[in-house]
């Protein structure tokens, strides 16, 4: 293919340089999580090859030492390739092979390693790239998304228990409905996250299947017997996570359904986060001319022209991330549908979007929990005011006067600006004593749910003031 010039201060070789020059597209580089996953893979493969007698120990040790440097971030500048390259990720695999070989030879003081013959032994780009995808996808879910999700869920559980006695107006269709407690409302949010965590954990099993050992088309050509199983064992040992060789390598190379499934769980999480954030910002709207039932932390000025304005900025960040994840899900689904013949050739864009979603979700949940959710407080005066004005308390009268008569009470109260009690007496449907006995909001809210009130903190940061306690007691 002719001469290609590689910068003298870089460890990559000719194949990386050609890709670097031929794909000057966009600013998105191969994700660092993927490069580190490749380092784990190459180290695990070298350990397997040494154990199986396919690679001498000196070469294996040098490969492992360079992989450790990559994992420590010491060689980051040597991985320059764009996401928008060959759909198999071949040149990224070769980028890793070349860097390990050239840096290894520098360490050895002699040309000991060859990028293809030694670093890539028993492997192909077609099975290493999807294997690296699996390693980094499972790792980011276990190490970042699930812990952030758990932290947010715990804080919501704590808030749910803390405010389980604060009775407020319920709302459906954006209209007043029968009452519930603020704790019950928040427990619904917490239960959403509890379910999302369950869905994400289910997806880990599929991501744990490694394509390594399938080589070019799934047949395992040039991979020795036992390599796939041994390499998966080594990757598990190096990461402390559960990986196993895929039972059908033809499926592992051509299908990316496990990523669609896992990202679908992230999309479900994004949808729930969107709902929670929107509820919080609507309930905290105001401070005087909105609903104003919730008080949220005031983190920064909200306007460059309106003094004193404070906005629900953390909620807005959550909703923007949710939209990005939903868009990424479309790309991932379409990319996974392109498994033409024996290989999917949309893998770089798939893993780029998958990792972006995971990274954004983990970061935004941490930020949302720290800068907003843990500081949520009820505006008890406003909550009590709305509850006293709610016409839907009339629902408790259905068993006493019937639906039609209860509707008459509510309509008269609304049209003539009366209380429900005044309207009921005026219509001579029941006396005041009976009304007071039946229409009691605290008897209308049911039991506090078990789900969504589980493993949270007993008392999130900050305690109820004496004034709040008094209002709640009233």
pLDDT score, position 453: 73
CA distances to 226, 243, 450 from 229, rounded to whole Å, are 6, 10, 43
If 0-12 CB within 10 Å is exposed, 13-18 middle and 19+ buried, where does residue 416 land?
Answer: exposed
Task: Judge: domain 127-378, CATH 3.40.640.10.
Answer: no
d(CA 179, CA 165): 12
Query: Helix (H, G, I), strand (E, B), or coil: what is residue 171?
Result: strand
* pLDDT digit string, tens, across residues 251-296: 999 999 999 999 999 999 999 999 999 999 999 999 999 999 999 9
* Secondary structure (3-state) at 374: helix
What pLDDT, in 10s, does the model give residues 390-424? Answer: 999 999 999 999 999 999 999 999 999 999 999 99
How confident is the model at residue 462, as a pLDDT? 41
Taking the C-alpha atoms of residue 289 and residue 213, their distance in angstroms, rounded to an integer, is 64
Is the pLDDT at 367 greater than 60? The verdict is: yes
- Asked whether the beta carbons of 434 and 392 are under 8 A apart, the reply is no
Q: Nearest to residue 286, comparing CAs of 207, 381, 145?
A: 381
- pLDDT computed for residue 357 by the predictor: 99
What pLDDT, on a 0 to 100 scale, did the predictor assign at position 252? 98
- pLDDT number for residue 167: 98
Which band of pLDDT confidence, cut at 50, 70 and 90, is reported for residue 468?
Answer: very low
380-449+460-473, what's its fold? Ribonucleotide Reductase Protein R1; domain 1 (1.10.40)
Per-residue pLDDT of 182-226, as tens digits, reads: 999 999 999 999 999 999 999 999 999 999 999 999 999 999 999
pLDDT of res. 134:
98
Every domain range in the chain assigned CATH 1.20.200.10? 127-378
Question: Does 450 score more than 90 pLDDT?
Answer: no
Residue 224 annotated to the active site: no
User: From the candidates 303, 337, 352, 390, which is the catalytic residue?
Assistant: 303
The yes-or-no answer on residue 284 being catalytic is no
Enumerate the CATH 1.10.40.30 domain ranges in the chain, comma separated: 380-449+460-473
Q: Which residue out of 139, 144, 173, 457 is catalytically annotated?
A: 173
Q: Average pLDDT, whole number, for the chain?
A: 95
- Would you place residue 474 in the very low, low, confident or very high pLDDT band (cuts 50, 70, 90)? very low
Is residue 415 within 8 Å of 123, Cβ to Cβ?
Answer: no
Integer Cα distance of 224 and 210 in angstroms: 16
pLDDT tens column, 123-148: 999 999 999 999 999 999 999 999 99
Contacts 24+ apart (CB under 8 A), 429-432: 429/401, 429/405, 430/397, 430/400, 430/401
Q: Classify burial at 252, counting beta carbons within 10 Å of its beta carbon; exposed 0-12, middle 13-18, buried 19 or more.
A: buried
**Residues above pLDDT 70, as percent of the chain:** 96
Provide φ and ψ at 170, rounded to 5°: -85, 160
Query: Does position 428 have pLDDT exceeding 50, yes or no?
Result: yes
Q: How far apart are CA 287 and CA 264, in angstroms?
A: 37
- pLDDT of the residue at 455: 54
Query: Tell me, what's the pLDDT at 451?
Result: 80
Contact 176, 441 (CB under 8 A): no
pLDDT tens across 317-332, in order? Answer: 999 999 999 999 999 9
Residue 467 is predicted with a pLDDT of 52
- Condensed to tens digits (0 to 9), the pLDDT of residues 230-256 reads 999 999 999 999 999 999 999 999 999
């Amino acid at each position: 293919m002719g001469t290609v010039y590689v910068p003298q201060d870089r460890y990559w070789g000719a194949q990386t340089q050609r890709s670097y020059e031929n794909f000057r597209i966009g600013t998105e580089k191969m994700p660092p999580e993927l490069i580190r996953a490749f380092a784990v893979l190459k180290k695990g493969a070298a350990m397997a090859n040494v154990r199986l007698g396919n690679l001498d120990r000196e070469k294996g040790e040098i490969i492992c030492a360079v992989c450790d440097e990559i994992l420590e971030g010491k060689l980051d500048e040597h991985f320059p390739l764009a996401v928008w390259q060959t759909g198999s990720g071949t040149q990224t695999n070769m980028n890793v092979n070349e860097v390990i070989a050239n840096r290894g030879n520098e360490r050895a003081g002699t040309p000991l390693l060859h990028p293809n013959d030694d670093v890539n032994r028993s492997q192909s780009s077609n099975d290493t790239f999807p294997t690296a995808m699996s390693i980094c996808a499972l790792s980011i879910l276990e190490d970042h998304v699930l812990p952030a999700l758990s932290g947010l869920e715990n804080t919501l559980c704590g808030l749910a228990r803390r405010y389980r006695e604060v009775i407020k107006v319920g709302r459906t269709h954006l209209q007043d409905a029968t009452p519930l407690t603020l704790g019950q409302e928040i427990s619904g949010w917490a239960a959403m996250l509890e379910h999302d965590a369950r869905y994400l954990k289910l997806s880990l099993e599929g991501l744990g299947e490694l394509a390594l050992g399938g080589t070019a088309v799934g047949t395992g050509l040039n991979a020795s017997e036992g390599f796939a199983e041994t390499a998966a064992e080594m990757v598990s040992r190096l990461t402390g996570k559960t990986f196993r060789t895929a039972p059908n390598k033809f499926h592992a190379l051509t299908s990316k359904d496990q990523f669609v499934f896992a990202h679908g769980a992230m999309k479900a999480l994004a949808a729930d986060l969107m709902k929670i954030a929107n509820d919080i910002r609507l309930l905290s709207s105001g401070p005087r001319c909105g609903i104003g039932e919730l008080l949220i932390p005031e983190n920064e000025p909200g306007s460059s022209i309106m003094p004193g304005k404070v906005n629900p900025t953390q909620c807005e960040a959550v909703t923007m991330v949710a939209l990005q994840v939903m868009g990424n899900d479309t790309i991932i689904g379409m990319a996974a549908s392109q498994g033409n013949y024996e290989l999917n050739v949309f893998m770089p864009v798939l893993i780029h979007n998958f990792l972006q979603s995971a990274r954004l979700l983990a970061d935004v949940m941490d930020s949302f929990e720290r800068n907003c959710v843990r500081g949520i407080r009820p505006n008890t005066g406003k909550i009590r005011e709305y509850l006293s004005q709610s016409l839907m308390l009339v629902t408790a009268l259905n068993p006493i006067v019937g639906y039609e008569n209860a509707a008459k009470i509510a309509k008269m109260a609304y049209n003539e600006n009366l209380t429900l009690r005044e309207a009921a007496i005026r219509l001579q449907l029941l006396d005041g004593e009976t009304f007071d006995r039946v229409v009691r909001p605290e008897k209308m809210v049911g039991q506090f749910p078990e789900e969504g009130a589980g493993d949270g903190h007993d008392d999130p940061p900050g305690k109820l003031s004496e004034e709040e306690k008094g209002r709640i007691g009233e």
